[in-house]
Chains A and B, each alone.
Chain A
Amino acid sequence: MADVSLVDISKRFGAVEAVRNLSLSIANGEFVVLLGPTGAGKTTALRLIAGLERPDRGHVVIHDRDVTKEVPADRDIAFVFQQYSLYPHLTVYDNLAFPLRSPAHRMDEAFIRRRVQHVAELLHITQKLNNRATVLSGGEMQRVAIGRALVREPAVYLMDEPLSSLDAKLRAELRLELKRIQRELGTTILYVTHDQIEAMTMADRIGVMSEGELIQLGTPRDIYERPQSVYVASRLGMPAINFVPAEALACQSPPAEARTAGLRTEHIRIFPADHSGSRARVHRVEHLGDQNHVHLRLDTHSLVTLADPAQALKAGDEVSLEFREPLYFDQRGNRIVNQEVPA
C-alpha cells in the first residue's frame, strides 16, 4: 500500500521549473531518499508534499486521500528541517511533548509521558529529559528535533537534510540511529540529501533527481550497479566513477554504439607491468587511511581507483590494468544494457 503518492506534479517559480512531471509512490514503512545536487528540485518536492507549496499541476495523495488542496496542518505529516529549532526556554521533555499538547491533538498527560519516554529511549536521550534545550550539544539538539517529529505518528516523515548541519562524526552516528529507529518503528520516511553516503546507507530506494526531474528510482544497489545514464552513475561511488572514451578500452571490444566507458574500482584490476593488459602509470597515491586512492594515467586519461593499503604502489610505477565488465554509455549518455553475463 502506498502511503504517499505524487502524481505528475509540476511546480514553477517564475521562469524556473523547479519540479517537472514528478511521479513517485512511497510504500508504507519505506525509507525513500531523494538525492541530487543543490537546485535539483528535491526540497521543493518535499515542500509540495508538506503543503508548504502548491503544485501548478498534479496531485498529492496521502493515505489514499487527495490532499493537494489541504493546508499543511490537515495533512498527516511531520517535517524535520535542516536547522533544528527547539524552544530554548523549555526542557527537552517539554520540547518533545509540545506537538502532542497542541490543541489539534488533545492528549492526556499520562499518554504523552509514555510517548515522550519511548521516543527518548529510542534516541538515547532519556538522561537529558530535564535539561534545558539550550545546554545540549548539537547532536543532542538534532536528536530532540527528530524526536519531536517522532512523538507523533503521522503517515509520513519528511526530512530535509536533517543531518547536514552536524559534525561529520555525529552525522555518521545519527545516520545509523535514524535507520535503526525507522526499522524498529516501521515508519515511512521521505528524506532529501545531497550526500550519497546517507542515501546509500539509509534508503530502501533512492530517487536520483536532476533539474526538477526524477531520473532514476531504485534500490541503492540498482542505482549503483545499473545506472541508467552517465549522470546517475556519477552520483554514487567513492571515488567517483571514471569516464573514458570507449575506444580507450578497445582491447575489451566494447559494444559498437558505445561512446563512453564508466570504470569503478571494482571494474579495474591493477597488476605488475609485466602482466598482460593495458599499460598505465601511477601518478599519485592518496592515503586516506583505509581508503588509498590511486591516481592512474592511462594514455592521456586519468583514473582514480581504490587500492588495497597492502598493495605497495607509488608514484611513477608502471602497472598493467585489466578491466572487468565496465559500464558502457551511448552518444546520449544512456547506459547500454548488455546481455548480463552470469557470474
Chain B
Amino acid sequence: MAEIRLEQVVKSFGTFSAVKGVDFTVDHGSFFVILGPSGCGKTTTLRMIAGLELPTSGRILLDGEDVTALPASARDIAFVFQLFALYPHMNVRENIAFPLRCQNLQRSQIRKSVEEAAKLLRIDHLLGRRVGGLSGGDRQRVALGRAIVRRPKAFLMDEPLGALDAEFRRLMCGELRELHDRIEATSIYITHDQLEAMAMADRIAVMNQGRVEQIGTPQEIYDRPRTMFVADFIGAPPMSFLGVHTALRRGDRIVMIDGAPVEMPEVFEDRVEGKFALGVRPENVAFADSSQLRGQVIGAEYLGTTQIVTVTTASGQLKARLPSSNLVRVGETVGLKLRSDRLSLFDAASGDALSSSLQAGVRHG
C-alpha cells in the first residue's frame, strides 16, 4: 500500500513538452486511471512515476518520500507493460518465481509467495505447466502473477489489455478490478479506452496535450464534465453539442435553441453575448411530438438492446440512445425533449463548462 503524489511534474523532450505541470494524488489502495488519446502524455507520466524517465521539474512522492531522482529499482513499484513477456523455456511456477529468485530469497519463502500469487489469480492448478501451451488469458494471468508476487507498494499498468480481443478485454477488466479488490495495492492504469476507465477506476484523470483536464470519479466525469474535451472523450457515443448564440444571466434556467425554449440547470454566472455549446448525452434525449425543438432523423445504428439515432437540428447534430423497439424512420422530422437536469453548458471558445447547478452537484427533480 502506498500513496503516490505528483506535484507540478513537467517533462520536456527538447523543445517538445510532453507533460506540462501535472498534479494529482493517488490514495492508498485505490485504483487510479489516466485516460487520454495517444500523445496526451499519459505514458510519459507513468514512466516518470516508475522511474524510467526523470522529470524536467516537479516532484514525485511515494508515501510522502521524495523519489523523484531515485532509480526504478529503488522504488518498490511493479510495472506491467502492454505486451507481456514470459520466459518460454520456464514453466508457470518458474516464471512467477523469477523476480523473487533475483532477490535471493529462501526457497520455502519463494514457494509460499508463488503459491499465494497463483491462488489470487486462480492459476494454482497450472503451476507445473509450460507457458507455451497456455491460452492467452492464462498467459496474461501468469504475467500478472510475476508482477504481484513481490508484493510491491504499487502497480503501474500501461494499457495491459490493449493487444487483446474486445471480448476478452472486457473479461480481463473485471478480473483485474477483482484482483485489485483482493490485494488492495495502489494501482495506476493507463488507457485510451473510456469504457475500461469507467469500468475499473475509483478515480480517473483525463489528460489532453500534456495537461490534466479533470480528475474525478467515473460518474462525476461522465455527468459533470468540466471541459468540452472531457465531455467529448467520455461516452460512446460522446456528448452532443448544440450551438447557442446568446447572453446569459445568473439564475437563467432556460436557453433558446432554434427558437425553442430548452430548460437547463440554473446558470451561476453572467456572460455577455457570445457563442456557447449546450451539451447533452445520448441517453438524455427523447423523442416527444409536443416539443418545439425539432430535428430530422439522418441515421440509426442498431446495437441490440438499444439504437443510436442521429438527428440534425438547425443548431447541430444530436445523438439519442433509444430502445431498439422504437421504430425510427430515416428522413422523418421529430420533436426532441432533452433531460433538463443533465445538460451542460460550455463556453464555445474556451471549451470550459459554465458554473451551474449541475457543476455544483445540485440535482433538481
Contact = CB atoms under 8 A, between A and B. Distances in A.
B304 A288 contact: no
Given A194-B165, A286-B199, A287-B198, 15 more contacts: A137-B39, A168-B195, A176-B301, A195-B166, A224-B302, A224-B304, A237-B304, A238-B304, A238-B305, A264-B305, A288-B198, A289-B218, A290-B282, A290-B321, A309-B283
B234 interface: yes
Contacts of A68: none
Contacts of A245: none
Contact of A289 (B234, B304, B305): B234
Contacts of A138: 38
A200 interface: yes
Interface string B262-292: 0000000000000000000111000000000
A49 to B, nearest CB: 23
Contacts of B167: 37, 194, 196
Contacts of B304: 200, 220, 224, 236-238, 264
A266 B305 contact: yes
A314 to B, nearest CB: 13
Contacts of A170: 37
Interface size class of B (residues with CB under 8 A): 35 or more
B189 interface: no
A201 B301 contact: yes
A276 interface: no
A200 B305 contact: no
Given A37-B167, A172-B236, A264-B305, A167 B37 contact: yes
Interface in B287-336: 301-305, 321, 323-325
A330 B281 CA distance: 41
B342 to A, nearest CB: 9
Contacts of B194: 168-169
Nearest to B196: A168
Interface of A: 37-38, 137-138, 167-170, 172, 176, 194-197, 200-201, 220-221, 224, 236-238, 264-266, 286-290, 306, 309
Contact of A221 (B38, B166, B198, B302): B302
B154 to A, nearest CB: 24
Given A167-B37, A220-B302, A38 B233 contact: no
B175 interface: no
A197 B219 CA distance: 23
A237 B301 CA distance: 14
A279 B167 CA distance: 30
Contacts of A289: 198, 218-219, 222-223, 234-235, 281
Nearest to B37: A167
Interface string B210-236: 000000001100110000000001111
19 contacts: A37-B165, A168-B192, A168-B236, A169-B192, A172-B236, A196-B167, A197-B166, A224-B302, A224-B304, A237-B305, A238-B304, A238-B305, A266-B305, A287-B198, A287-B219, A289-B218, A290-B222, A290-B235, A290-B282
Interface of B: 37-39, 136, 165-167, 192-195, 198-199, 218-219, 222-223, 233-238, 281-283, 301-305, 321, 323-325
Contacts of B301: 176, 200-201
Tell me which of A38, A137, A138, A290 has the highest count of chain B C-beta atoms within 10 A of its own C-beta. A290
B350 to A, nearest CB: 21
B185 to A, nearest CB: 21
Nearest to B281: A290
Given A168-B193, A169-B192, A289-B219, A196 B198 contact: no
Contact of A290 (B39, B283, B324): B283
A167 B305 CA distance: 25
Nearest to A224: B304
A286 B238 CA distance: 19
Contacts of A221: 302, 324
A237 to B, nearest CB: 5
Contacts of A220: 302, 304
B172 to A, nearest CB: 14
B237 A172 contact: yes
Contacts of A194: 165-167
B225 to A, nearest CB: 11
Nearest to B174: A286
Contacts of B305: 237-238, 264-266, 306
Contacts of B38: 138, 167
B248 to A, nearest CB: 27
A286 B219 CA distance: 10
Nearest to A237: B304
B283 A288 contact: no
A124 to B, nearest CB: 15
A309 B192 CA distance: 24
Contacts of B199: 286, 288
A24 B235 CA distance: 36
Given A37-B167, A290-B282, A200 B198 contact: no
A196 B166 CA distance: 8
